[in-house]
Structure 1
Amino acid sequence: MVGAYTDPSEMLRDAKELGPDIVFLDIEMPGMNGLEIASRILELLEDVEIVFITAYHQYALEAFRVHALDYLLKPVELELLYRTIDRVVKRKKGNVAAVSESGQAPSRIVCLGGFEVYPAEQTEPIRFPTAKAEELFAYLLVHRNTNISKWTLCDSLWPGIISSEKLNQNLHMAVYRMKKTLRDGGIGVRISSQRGFYRMECDAPCDYVMFEQAAVDMNELNPRHVEVATKAIQLYRGPLFGSRDYPWCEAERERMSRYYAGLAKRVARWHFDQGHYHETIELLLSVLYDVPFDEEAHEILLRAYIGLQDRTAFLLHYERMKANFIEELGVEPPATLKQLYINMRLY
């Protein structure tokens, strides 16, 4: 035993330093409810196990809602107590064995075109117990390496709730569930909290992180850089977090889309200048699937068809493009594109 307390505040103050494997809590306590204390402990210590001790059966459901390992009825029977402790020991041994066998915790995170988190050497993604736990992870991933106020998190994830007590409860539960899911999956992230701020650092390979870094770092293009840029472009398989409806990430989603279109057009223009028309066309058709009204992409693509002397493909693409401009935007294609079309018709 590393400590025993009658004052919940003192226990919370010392919890991180003591680092217990298991905490036994009474539910009915003066000044602070045991369920509330459990939520705060789980925020401080992600690996701790909670066991409630109570005289009342009706608290069982509430106990498991905060992901307690077990609950024991008073008076506590020694056999049941030893059984609970044995469960904790087995869990700890299992976690150690999983890490030692692999030597590390390689995992991967897919954010572009969807949102899936894969444990090491697994083909099936982990499942978060709640949508909010998953969304919280997405938010921290976007704001990685940054200290985020808990109130900023609450405003972003629970914008319709004004009760500070309810917001605290929601946040504590989401943080615990997220941490436990990631820890059980061996996902390479580090999440810390201090004085009302949260911070996440990501070690696991993540397509979103790698794509952003490549897009930001790409200055001039040469054959070696083109290869790197092409691999980065291939990481972009769709919008950030796919179809997840996260209003707070719209600006970041748009930023990644602009990075993708800009990088792909630069590589496509490089291929065009080298006379690699097929590579140019392949790249730009992918870009135009995501940004169908990008004038520059249409122009380079049409010029690539001219380079191939493929009049049929040129005219088919122009007619489809024109129909989309008129139907969706209510305007004719830009003058530059219309002139290319006129020149092709005269050819």
Structure 2
Amino acid sequence: MIRVIIVDDEPLALVSMKKHLNEFDNIEVIRTFTTAKDVLKEGPTLDFQVAFLDVEMPGMSGLEVAQLLKTWDKNICIIFVTAYRDYAVQAFDVQSLDYLLKPVSKSRLEITINRIQKLFQKNLSSEKTRTHQKPMLQIRCFGEFVVSFDEKVIHWRTIKSKELFAFLFLQLHMPVPRDNILDSLWSDTDVKKARVQLHTTVSYLRTTLSSYGYTDVIEYANGCYILKLNDFQCDAFDLEDILNTKAETGRLNIEKAEELIQNYHGEFMATMDYAWTTSKTNLMNKQFSQLLDELILYYSKNQNLKNRERSLLFALEFNPYSDKIVQQLIQHYTEIGNRAEAIKIYHSFNSLLLTELNVSPSQETTELFQNVLHAHEKEHETSVYP
């Protein structure tokens, strides 16, 4: 789907453009604006790829808005809409893809949509070419810790080789004292034997990585080992990057967030039975939960009820004991007029807590449920006894 915003101070023109765009299956109008001021306020928090801008607007023209959008993201596609031809030269000066004259017909708009599609397909093709120019190391941390090269799983010479790689990788580009490694990986082994085993394991690890073209990536200096690794992709790093970008720019990268969730295989390092992973596991699981919260908030703001429901159900699966998520689900189902499902969600949650934790839902959750139940029963009585 191509995500679009529309900016036009004429309400009728705005409604007409939105109606025409919604007739295209691959176009999603995520927000409309009637003033440039609203764009400045909400725009940075939205994730969109195309902006349809009315040129003549009070306060700040569409041309000025376009220049601002380009500073947010140079890849945003600009389409100008106006009743006058005089702006055409200026429009193309700010690298707009197209220039539409009002009233915009569906046939003319279809030409514009085709241009947008061709541009996106070209960019996607270029991105795929860049991605496949050189095989990348793929590292999956959520669920089982799996390292692959060119989509083939790497087989480690020993179990300790894999554990040492994971230990160093989670502290990438940072010096790790040898004694910390010994205490974490060989705590039950005599110190002299542990040092020999560490030396041997490092040798095995270097050999394995070298066979995939990663030479001299493990350094030893001043009693510390350092893993210096580039040209790789890792779900844990992707998660941190998405959240950091959101914190810095206020914009959530929906594609990357959805891709991360679709490839989710379980909690961080879920199959790694190592004591040293505990603190990192707790942090990464909190960050994943934060990402789900960001997605739910994004879809709520954009009134995307289907994706909000899907994200909420995924969040509940990730954290089945969360009163907060259950409350959001109850409110969601109430909002869409499905009180029966809201009641079902509560009963399932209540049963789970009693069975597994021997506790009850919070007072706030219970009160919310009671209100929904009361409204549902009242509605049912009205329908039976009009």
Q: Normalized against structure 2, the TM-score is what?
A: 0.58
Residue 149 of structure 1: how far off its partner (Å): 0.7
| Structure 1 position 202 matched with structure 2 position 229 | yes
1:311 is aligned, of 339, 342, 348, to 339
Residue 205 of structure 1: how far off its partner (Å): 1.2
Residue 335 of structure 1: how far off its partner (Å): 1.5
Q: Which amino acid in the other structure matches residue 276 of structure 1? A: N
1:273 is aligned, of 279, 296, 301, to 301
Kindly report which structure 2 residues correspond to 1:21-100, keeping only aligned pairs within 5 A, or say none. Answer: none
| Structure 1 position 259 matched with structure 2 position 259 | no
Q: What is the SS of the residue equivalent to 1:275?
A: coil
Partner of 2:70: none
Q: What is the SS of the residue equivalent to 2:247?
A: coil
Q: Separation in 2 of the partners of 1:329 and 1:283?
A: 25
Partner of 2:197: 170
Q: Which amino acid in the other structure matches residue 192 of structure 1? A: E
Residue 278 of structure 1: how far off its partner (Å): 1.9
Partner of 1:3: none
Q: Separation in 1 of the partners of 2:339 and 2:296?
A: 20
Residue 180 of structure 1: how far off its partner (Å): 1.2
Partner of 1:40: none
Q: What is the SS of the residue equivalent to 2:139?
A: strand
Residue 242 of structure 1: how far off its partner (Å): 3.0
Identity %: 23
Partner of 2:206: 179
Could you tell which deviates more after superposition, 205-214 or 180-189?
180-189
Q: What is the SS of the residue equivalent to 1:219?
A: helix
Partner of 1:78: none
Partner of 1:239: 267
Q: What is the SS of the residue equivalent to 1:127?
A: coil
| Structure 1 position 116 matched with structure 2 position 146 | yes
Residue 104 of structure 1: how far off its partner (Å): 4.7
RMSD: 2.3
Judge conservation of contact 2:143–2:265 (CA < 8 Å) in 1. Answer: yes
Structure 1 residue runs without a partner (length 5+): 1-101
Assess, with a 3 A threshold, how the Cα gap between structure 1 residues 326 and 150 changes in structure 2: closer, same or farther.
same
Judge conservation of contact 1:105–1:187 (CA < 8 Å) in 2. Answer: no
| Structure 1 position 143 matched with structure 2 position 171 | yes
1:157 is aligned, of 185, 197, 205, to 185
Assess, with a 3 A threshold, how the Cα gap between structure 1 residues 150 and 220 changes in structure 2: closer, same or farther.
closer
1:335 is aligned, of 363, 367, 371, to 363
Residue 290 of structure 1: how far off its partner (Å): 2.2
Could you tell which deviates more after superposition, 185-194 or 152-161?
185-194
Could you tell which deviates more after superposition, 249-258 or 107-116?
107-116
Q: Which has the higher contact order (CA 8 A, sep 6+)?
A: 1
Q: Which amino acid in the other structure matches residue 137 of structure 2? A: S
Judge conservation of contact 2:242–2:253 (CA < 8 Å) in 1. Answer: no
Residue 236 of structure 1: how far off its partner (Å): 3.9
| Structure 1 position 218 matched with structure 2 position 236 | no
Assess, with a 3 A threshold, how the Cα gap between structure 1 residues 137 and 323 changes in structure 2: closer, same or farther.
same
Judge conservation of contact 1:271–1:280 (CA < 8 Å) in 2. Answer: yes
Q: Separation in 2 of the partners of 1:106 and 1:135?
A: 21
Partner of 2:98: none
Structure 2 residue runs without a partner (length 5+): 1-131, 376-386
Q: Separation in 2 of the partners of 1:344 and 1:141?
A: 49
Number of residue pairs the alignment of both structures matches: 243
Residue 159 of structure 1: how far off its partner (Å): 1.1
Judge conservation of contact 1:105–1:186 (CA < 8 Å) in 2. Answer: no
Residue 188 of structure 1: how far off its partner (Å): 8.4
Residue 127 of structure 1: how far off its partner (Å): 0.6
| Structure 1 position 289 matched with structure 2 position 317 | yes
Could you tell which deviates more after superposition, 194-203 or 221-230?
221-230
Residue 279 of structure 1: how far off its partner (Å): 1.0
Q: Separation in 1 of the partners of 2:136 and 2:205?
A: 18
Judge conservation of contact 2:141–2:268 (CA < 8 Å) in 1. Answer: yes
Assess, with a 3 A threshold, how the Cα gap between structure 1 residues 103 and 260 changes in structure 2: closer, same or farther.
closer
Q: Which amino acid in the other structure matches residue 148 of structure 2? A: Y
Judge conservation of contact 2:142–2:235 (CA < 8 Å) in 1. Answer: yes
Judge conservation of contact 2:300–2:308 (CA < 8 Å) in 1. Answer: yes
Assess, with a 3 A threshold, how the Cα gap between structure 1 residues 186 and 306 changes in structure 2: closer, same or farther.
farther
Partner of 1:250: 278
Could you tell which deviates more after superposition, 219-228 or 231-240?
219-228
Partner of 2:374: 346
Q: Separation in 2 of the partners of 1:326 and 1:314?
A: 19
Q: Which amino acid in the other structure matches residue 119 of structure 1? A: F
2:350 is aligned, of 278, 303, 322, to 322
1:267-324 deviations in Å (ceiling 9; x for gaps): 2023123322221121122222221112222211221111221122212111110011
Assess, with a 3 A threshold, how the Cα gap between structure 1 residues 340 and 236 changes in structure 2: closer, same or farther.
same
Q: Separation in 1 of the partners of 2:323 and 2:177?
A: 41
Q: Separation in 1 of the partners of 2:210 and 2:341?
A: 52
